[in-house]
Structure 1
Amino acid sequence: MYHAIVRSKVRALWRVTGDGSGNYHPAVAMAAPDLRFRFIGDSVLGAELRGPEAFADWFEQANRRFPGMRLTLTDVVVKGWPWNTTVVVRLRIDATLADGSRYENEGIQWVRIRWGRMVEDTVLEDTARLERAWQRQELATSGT
């Protein structure tokens, strides 16, 4: 029963944070004071940071760089108990870039939750595809 509740809450959270509106606040509200967030890879969104404030800053940057980006949860797996829950999410990412082209990607998120607070969040995405999209975005917005 616990796993079904967590899956439902994760799906609801992704419906809000992934709808393209830029509303990342519910995700930041789940962050524990010692949250460790990593976006793996050398890309414009690559990061390794700690704490809810830095997490919120990362979301703000991501939303500025890719406004309207939509994140659709396609699968979620939950294991563990309230004091040490692991959630693995598979995501589909899509956006319309400033030049009118489409950006599509997929990613995996690995989250550890302790008593309802996110203590670890690691995201893996195809960073080569992300970088190509960022280059197109930069060209379109820089006017060159």
Structure 2
Amino acid sequence: MYHAIVRAKVRALWRTTGDGSGNYHPAVAMAAPDLRFRFIGDNILGAELHGPEAFADWFEKANQCFPGMRLGLTDMVVKGWPWNTTVVVRLRIEATLADGSAYENEGIQWVRIRWGRMVEDTVLEDTLRLQQAWRRQEAAAKADG
């Protein structure tokens, strides 16, 4: 029963956070004060940071880099108990880039939750696709500007 509740809450969070509106606040509200967030890779969104404020700053940067970005949960595994829950999500990423082209990517998110608060969040996305999309964003900005 506990795992079903966690799955439902995670799905609801992804619907809100991933709808393209830029509303990342529910995800940040789940962050524990000692949250450790990592976005793996040497790219525009690559990060290793701590705490909800830095997590919110990362979301703000992601929304500035890829306005209207949509995130979708395609599969999920939940295991553990309330004091140490692991959630693994397979996700898809979509956006319309400034040059009008489509950006599509996929990734994996590994989250540890303790008593309803996210204490660790690690995201691994296809970094080559991400970097190529960012280059198109930069090229469009230079052409406009």
What is the TM-score of this pair, normalised by structure 1? 0.99
Percent identical pairs in the alignment equals 85
Which residue of structure 1 lines up, in the alignment, with residue 53 of structure 2?
Answer: 53
What secondary structure is seen at the aligned counterpart in 1 of 2:45?
coil
Q: 1:141: how far off?
A: 1.4
State the aligned residue count. 144
Distance of 1:83 and 1:128 partners within structure 2 = 36
Q: Which residue does the alignment assign to 1:96?
A: 96
RMSD: 0.7
Structure 2 residue 130 is matched with structure 1 residue 143: no
Distance 2:75 2:100 in 1: 29
Amino acid at match of 2:40: I
Cα offsets for 1:42-61 (capped at 9, x unmatched): 11000000000000000000
* 2:35 counterpart residue number: 35
* Structure 2 unmatched ranges of 5 or more: none
Q: Where does residue 78 of structure 2 map in the other structure? A: 78
- Unaligned runs of 5+ residues in structure 1 are none
For 1:134 and 1:64, the matched residues in 2 are separated by 11
TM-score (norm 2): 0.98
> Aligned partners of 2:48 and 2:105: how far apart in 1?
21
Q: Distance in 2 between matches of 1:143 and 1:99?
A: 10
Q: What is the letter of the counterpart of residue 114 of structure 1?
A: R
- 2:41 aligned counterpart, secondary structure: coil
Distance in structure 1 (CA, Å) of the matches to 2:78 and 2:85: 7
Equivalent-residue separation in structure 2 for 1:70 and 1:107 (angstroms):
13
Distance across 2 between alignment mates of 1:81 and 1:16: 25
The letter for the 2-side match of 1:28 is V
Question: Which residue of the partner structure matches residue 134 of structure 1?
Answer: 134
Q: 1:80-99 deviations in whole A, cap 9, x for unaligned?
A: 00000000001010100000
Q: How far apart, CA to CA, are the structure 2 residues paired with 1:138 and 1:103? A: 14
What is aligned with 2:62?
A: 62
Match of 2:20 in 1: 20
1:142 and 1:93 mapped to 2: Cα distance?
24
Distance in 1, matches of 2:57 and 2:14, equals 18
